[in-house]
Structure 1
Amino acid sequence: MTAAVLRALHHGLDLPLVLPGPWDAASAQVFADAGFPALATPSAGVAASLGYEDGATPPDEMFAAVRRIVRAVGIPVSADVEAGYGLSARELVGRLADAGAVGCNLEDADHATGTLRDAHQQADWLAEVRAEAGDALVINARIDTYLCGVPDRDETVRRGRLYAEAGADCVYPILAPPPLLADLASAIGLPVNAVVTPDGPAPRELGTLGAARVTFGPGLQQRAMAALTGMAERLREELGGG
């Protein structure tokens, strides 16, 4: 599947575009069989499935996981590749292409320190990725202001506009208050990605509030693991406990 297909889905009439987050090939097949038009891998969900903490997955293992997910389905897959793992734009784009991903998340915070990267440096990085990829990659530029304790609407818009100028296809102001989504989309001028949280609005409501794209982070993987934990506990009870 091509990036053009994924890009067009961000502007369809049936918004929001809901992208489940598969963590392995089997979960990807489940979501594809359910009729979703595209998928977006969550780095935290993939990390958990591989036995790592969020942000600690070795790049080789992350790209290998994305490759297995892409191979398992016949729909577009966007990959969360965190802050790019320190790769050059050329190497990052090449590895995404090798894995078969036609989209990516790139965040503007440092996992290790929890601090925001300089917005102009991030915009320059995104521009390099766009130049290397051309139209072959849908870039979802994550804005971590609210995640990093900078709940500033104007700073979020400033970053979003810089990333739009750099060639991003959409922006992802993660954890921004849902009532602000329409304002952010209008001020930045790009489709906005919103994340479903346990106590927040459902996907359809997020669309009503202004999200063109809805993802789940590691939420679906966590719910699946909770269900598996319940199954394991019941099995132990049937076997007589310890």
Structure 2
Amino acid sequence: MTASGLRALHHGRAPGDPLVLPGPWDAASARALADAGFPALALPSAGVAASLGYEDGETPADEMFAAVARIARAVPVPVSADIEAGYGLPPAELVERLLAAGAVGCNLEDTVDGVLLDAGRQADRLAAVRAAAGDALFVNARIDTYVTGVPDGVDPAAETLRRARLYAAAGADCLYPILAPPEVFGPLADALPGLPLNALAVPDGPGPRRLGELGATRITFGPGLQRRAMAAVREIAAGL
């Protein structure tokens, strides 16, 4: 499936029926998820990093793109890849490497080295990625106001909305306010009608259906599935 097919999966969804995209970390887990019937997959950088023996954020770009390529080759469904902040690559090269790896979508975050980027600078980068990709890439713009934090005295909900508007104007296909409280999604959906919103489902939080009812269009799990799988492996190892 092309980026247009992935894009179509995000639209026309009823409240309470969001697009659920689990996150594989290698080819075997990707095959298992595709075989289960999921229409697309969203690779988490942290899960892939763990499978390669790295801490989150420390995977070399070449190894990450190679992992994306292995996963994309292994499944018949579209693959979107979390490529952190883009590894410092120029937008045209970043797009070229994603497409060469077989990905039709990506996450791009607005944090570099633990610092929240200037929103205007990030919007310019997103616009450059969109210009380089045309319609060949589904761009999910991650907003890190709730994970990296905002300056003292700044309201995180207001800053999230400000960044969301800038990134939408830059051509983002979807907005991803990672770790935002569930109540943030309704006002975002009202302010940006028709633009898909990605929510991160966490073990102690609302489930996918409830997040959809609250305004999310797309549900992802970050490295949650990989961590659950490793917990199962540790349990098996302890039993052995």
Normalising by structure 2, what TM-score? 0.95
Residues 1:175 and 2:201 are matched in the alignment: no
For residues 25-44 of structure 1, what are the structure 2 equivalents within 5 Å? 25-44=27-46
Q: Distance in 1 between matches of 2:204 and 2:214?
A: 16
CA–CA separation in structure 2 for the residues paired with 1:228 and 1:88: 39
For residue 159 of structure 2, what is the amino acid of its counterpart?
E
Q: Which residue of 2 aligns with 1:23?
A: 25
Instruction: After the TM superposition, list the runs of 4 or more consecutive aligned residues in structure 1 that deviate by more than 6 angstroms.
Output: none
**Mapped pair 1:208 → 2:213:** yes
2:70 to 63, 68, 72: 68
In the aligned structure 2, how far is the partner of 1:13 from the partner of 1:194? 15
Paired amino acid for 2:26: D
1-side partners of 2:69 and 2:53: how far apart?
18
Cα distance in 1 between the residues matched to 2:172 and 2:63: 26
Question: Is 2:227 the partner of 1:222?
Answer: yes
1:158 aligns with 2:189: no
Per the TM alignment, residue 204 of structure 1 is displaced from its structure 2 partner at its CA by 1.2
Q: Which of 187-196 and 214-223 deviates more? A: 187-196
Give a deviation string over 1:113-172, Cα, whole Å, max 9, x none: x22100000000000000000000000000000111236111101101000010000100
Measure, in 2, the Cα distance between the counterparts of 1:91 and 1:53: 25
**Root-mean-square deviation over aligned CA pairs:** 1.0
- AA of the residue aligned to 1:91: E
Q: Report deviation, 1:182.
A: 1.6
Q: Which has the larger radius of gyration?
A: 1
Name the counterpart of 1:238.
none
After the TM superposition, which of the residue ranges 158-167 and 6-15 deviates more from structure 2? 6-15
Is this contact kept in 2: 1:195–1:214, CA < 8 A? yes
Aligned to 1:186: 190
Q: Is 1:195 aligned to residue 200 of structure 2?
A: yes
String of CA shifts for 1:64-102, please: whole Å, max 9, x gaps. 000000000000100000000000011000000000000
Higher relative contact order (CA 8 A, sep 6+): 2
Corresponding position of 1:121 = 121
| Structure-1-length-normalised TM-score | 0.94
For the Cα contact (< 8 Å) 1:157–1:188, is it kept in 2?
Answer: no
Q: CA deviation at 1:184?
A: 1.2
Task: Give structure 1 stretches of 5+ with no counterpart.
Answer: 236-242
Unaligned runs of 5+ in 2: none
Structure 1 contact 173–193 (Cα < 8 Å) conserved = yes
